[in-house]
A and B are shown apart, each in its own frame.
Chain A
Amino acid sequence: MLKWLRRWVQLLLPPPRWQVPALVLIGLTIGAGGVIFHQSRAWSYLYDDPKACINCHIMMPQYTTWQHSSHARVASCNDCHVPHSSLAAKYFFKAKDGMRHATLFTLGMEEQVIRITAPSKAVVQENCVRCHGFVNDEVSTRNVTEKTARHGEGHLCWDCHREVPHGRVNSLSSVPNSRIQLETPTIPEWMRKTPKDGAKP
């Protein structure tokens, strides 16, 4: 076993003459990777804070419309948009979606009006049912999936509840002045400088 491992390591080792450049190259890669990790707030993608979804600003219309909806009180982005069948499924989906988003955004290929994809639809539908299933027993929508709906058997939840939770239109033009507080200076500069007795700042 150990022997086998050593052989593999040796195979990957560069020839002696190349070792210095290889080390430099690996160092650069790790360094640059670290900067990217930090700059892109990559760690935030491991958690459930909705703020992670506006690391890239193009999701802000989705964020504000959610934030002003009743769902904001009980559900985060991840509650609806990633699978909850298992931890593995959740992170696999996150990684898959994340790679797609990163690629499109880096190459400037993002759509002006962002629309949900079929795999994403399937997940959201599952999650609607996950929380609201009990209430919806009576109207028998529990067995509708993205696939059955595509084949004309049943409707997805938001085919009727069209405004839930993002509203009907959610491109940037529909929420022009819904500013997200990227930085939050909740009190003005002069007040920070004002001494305790209220004298001139």
Chain B
Amino acid sequence: MKSVQEMLKARPWLGGVLFAATVGVGVGVGLLLSSVATRKAEGRFAYTAKTDIAADEARNDVWGKAFPLEYESWLQTADTSFRSKHAGNGSIDLLERDPRMVVLWAGYAFAKDYSQSRGHAYAVEDIHKILRTGAPNDTDKGPQPGTCWTCKSPDVPRMMAKIGPGEFYKQKWSDLGSEVVNSIGCLDCHDPKTMALRISRPALVEAFARQGKDVTKSTHNEMRSLVCAQCHVEYYFKGPEKYLTFPWDSGFTVEKMEAYYDSIKFTDWTHALSKAPMLKAQHPDFEVFKMGIHGQRGLSCADCHMPYRTQGGQKFSDHHIQSPLNNIANSCQVCHRESADELRKNVEERQDKVMESRLQLEDVLVRAHLEAKKAWESGADSVTMKPILQLIRKAQWRWDFATAGNGNAFHAPVEVARMLGHGINFGQEARIGLALTLQRLGVKEAVPYPDISTKAKAQELAGLKMDKLHAEKQVFLNKVLPQWLRKAKEREDKLPR
């Protein structure tokens, strides 16, 4: 075989071919390189909104200009026309429907006012109106801390970035009245630059960190639940700083969280009738969901509460966050083949059965609180009463954990039935202790079940002066609130639109 030199000597044009080929390869490589670089840059921008939404933009309608489909569906959370068998998206006075709750929460703000929550669009309006936030005015800053605002508005991350979460929680609820005005919306879950899902509340990040987990390592599918888990979880206000904290350090179950609260000797309030050291469950939606079959199969909240939807050939996540029972076709029937009616019946069966046990436990608890009251009145000593009151605390914690959530009976019916079963047992154990105590104190008659057929009667029993509370609230709504809103409007009017 000849060497290249010899070949070139014989055919000089071969050198030209070789040269051209090399140039060709060089151009190809260069082209590929520049193409990769351009396309990568393009990819970064092609999927990012062509808007300049500010990093702390809390006004939902400003985002809505760039994302009309999502925004319009979010607006639909203002709909209040849907009623399911046990709940719905309109306001339902739950104390009127079940006055036993008033007795169970005697001495705590929930006995004053507790309603079925409406859609995200009403979060701010409803916290203004609810009696639990009291009636702040010029001289009295009201009962609640800034922490109560945490889950109500995209103004919250805006303010936290400004003054720090610690300071935010420490303020009075009324201190922030003119700052927090936009209802739960875009900035709560999205990064304004990339629209990626994002955690905006420190409590979740901190709870993960305490368990040695890094929330920033979450997958996209996990994020589709975690943005909800910023709020739809069990929480408490820690210490005098009222620092929002999730009691997740030892685990998610009703017992594990109870152990956590017991270990730090935490008590939400002392019961007005029984003097029991009570716990109030908030709404452990995320935790209970994770313990149910849909959670165990790896579904996310958004799969059912924000299903994909088509409009004019465009697909997007439905931001009308609501009960899937109002949208069975897009939620349940994506996976289940049964008819909508059949599926609704399946859900209602679980809810009905859980409700049976729940109401039994409520009756047990009403009786236990009143019998404990009777025992104190008859001269019982605190050494005898302490273990009994502990049992009442345990029983009602289980009742509240099962009841306070949105959709617990559907999310994890077996787990909820289990905790209600344990609750009934603890409640009846308390009543055995009370029966023995009352007998020893010479009480011969059974403590009669009170007439709590209406909310008003139950609230009288709990020692509440409702007329006064309502009158004060009216003053707040007519005089103080308009000032807050005016101040907020002046501030927002100065911002670019």
Give residues in A with beta carbon < 8 Å to B. Answer: 7, 10-11, 14-15, 25, 29, 32-33, 35-36, 39-40, 54, 56-57, 60, 65, 67-68, 70, 72-73, 102, 105-106, 167, 169, 173-191, 194, 197-201
A185 with B48: CB separation less than 8 A = no
Nearest residue in B to A38 (C-beta to C-beta)? B36
List residues of B (31-56) whose CB comes within 8 Å of A's CBs: 31-33, 35-37, 39-40, 42-44, 46-48, 55
B382 at the interface (CB under 8 A from A): no
Q: Which residues of B contact A25 (CB under 8 A)?
A: 22
Binds A, one of B109-117, B165-173, B398-406, B483-491: B165-173
Min distance, Cβ B336 to any Cβ of chain A, angstroms? 11
Nearest residue in A to B34 (C-beta to C-beta)? A106
Query: Which 6 A-B pairs have CB atoms at the shortest separation, nearest pair first?
Result: A198-B166, A57-B43, A190-B161, A200-B164, A198-B165, A181-B196
Q: Assuming A10-B3, A200-B167, is B32 touching A102 (CB within 8 A)?
A: yes
Q: Which residues of B contact A190 (CB under 8 A)?
A: 157, 160-161
B308 with A68: CB separation less than 8 A = yes
Binds A, one of B311-319, B421-429, B432-440: B311-319
Q: Which residues of A contact B243 (CB under 8 A)?
A: 198
A181 with B220: CB separation less than 8 A = yes
Contact-residue size bin, chain B (C-beta under 8 Å from the other chain): 35 or more
Nearest residue in B to A40 (C-beta to C-beta)? B36
Nearest residue in B to A25 (C-beta to C-beta)? B22
B263 at the interface (CB under 8 A from A): no
B32 with A185: CB separation less than 8 A = no
30 A-B pairs, CB-CB below 8 angstroms? A14-B4, A15-B3, A15-B4, A32-B30, A33-B29, A36-B32, A57-B39, A57-B42, A57-B43, A60-B43, A65-B315, A73-B298, A105-B39, A106-B32, A167-B315, A176-B314, A177-B69, A177-B70, A177-B195, A179-B196, A181-B197, A185-B198, A188-B161, A190-B157, A190-B160, A190-B161, A191-B161, A191-B205, A194-B164, A200-B163
Min distance, Cβ A99 to any Cβ of chain B, angstroms? 12
List residues of B (336-358) whose CB comes within 8 Å of A's CBs: none
B37 with A186: CB separation less than 8 A = no
Q: Which residues of A contact B314 (CB under 8 A)?
A: 173-176
B4 with A199: CB separation less than 8 A = no
Min distance, Cβ A179 to any Cβ of chain B, angstroms? 5
Min distance, Cβ B246 to any Cβ of chain A, angstroms? 14
Nearest residue in B to A186 (C-beta to C-beta)? B216
Q: Which residues of B contact A189 (CB under 8 A)?
A: 55
Min distance, Cβ B4 to any Cβ of chain A, angstroms? 6
B202 with A191: CB separation less than 8 A = yes
B215 at the interface (CB under 8 A from A): yes
Min distance, Cβ A56 to any Cβ of chain B, angstroms? 6
CA distance A174 to B64 in the complex (A): 19
Q: Which residues of B contact A186 (CB under 8 A)?
A: 196-199, 215-216, 218, 223
Point out the residue from B1, B37, B197, B313 that lies within 8 Å of A11, measured CB to CB: B1
Point out the residue from A29, A169, A188, A201 that lies within 8 Å of B29, measured CB to CB: A29
Q: Assuming A174-B315, A185-B191, A198-B165, is B29 touching A32 (CB within 8 A)?
A: yes
A60 with B215: CB separation less than 8 A = no
A11 with B166: CB separation less than 8 A = no
Q: Assuming A39-B37, A181-B194, A194-B202, is B5 touching A106 (CB within 8 A)?
A: no
CA distance A102 to B28 in the complex (A): 12
Min distance, Cβ A141 to any Cβ of chain B, angstroms? 19
Give residues in B with beta carbon < 8 Å to A. Answer: 1, 3-5, 22, 25, 29-33, 35-37, 39-40, 42-44, 46-48, 55, 67, 69-70, 157, 160-169, 191, 194-200, 202, 205, 215-216, 218, 220-221, 223, 241, 243, 298, 308, 313-317, 334-335
A183 with B194: CB separation less than 8 A = yes
Nearest residue in B to A70 (C-beta to C-beta)? B335
B47 with A179: CB separation less than 8 A = yes
Q: Which residues of A contact B30 (CB under 8 A)?
A: 32
Q: Assuming A67-B220, A106-B31, A194-B202, is B46 touching A57 (CB within 8 A)?
A: yes
A187 with B199: CB separation less than 8 A = yes
Q: Which residues of A contact B4 (CB under 8 A)?
A: 11, 14-15
Q: Which residues of B contact A14 (CB under 8 A)?
A: 4
Q: Which residues of A contact B40 (CB under 8 A)?
A: 39
Q: Which residues of A contact B169 (CB under 8 A)?
A: 198
Q: Which residues of A contact B215 (CB under 8 A)?
A: 186-187
B165 with A179: CB separation less than 8 A = no
**Which of B32, B55, B197, B334 has the largest count of A CB atoms less than 10 A from its CB?**
B32
CA distance A129 to B280 in the complex (A): 54
Point out the residue from A39, A177, A185, A187 that lies within 8 Å of B33, measured CB to CB: A39
A36 with B47: CB separation less than 8 A = no
Point out the residue from A56, A198, A199 that lies within 8 Å of B43, measured CB to CB: A56
Q: Which residues of A contact B70 (CB under 8 A)?
A: 177
CA distance A39 to B52 in the complex (A): 28
Q: Which residues of B contact A181 (CB under 8 A)?
A: 194, 196-197, 220
Min distance, Cβ A11 to any Cβ of chain B, angstroms? 6
Nearest residue in B to A14 (C-beta to C-beta)? B4
**Which of B160, B197, B223 has the largest count of A CB atoms less than 10 A from its CB?**
B160
CA distance A106 to B69 in the complex (A): 34
CA distance A191 to B199 in the complex (A): 9
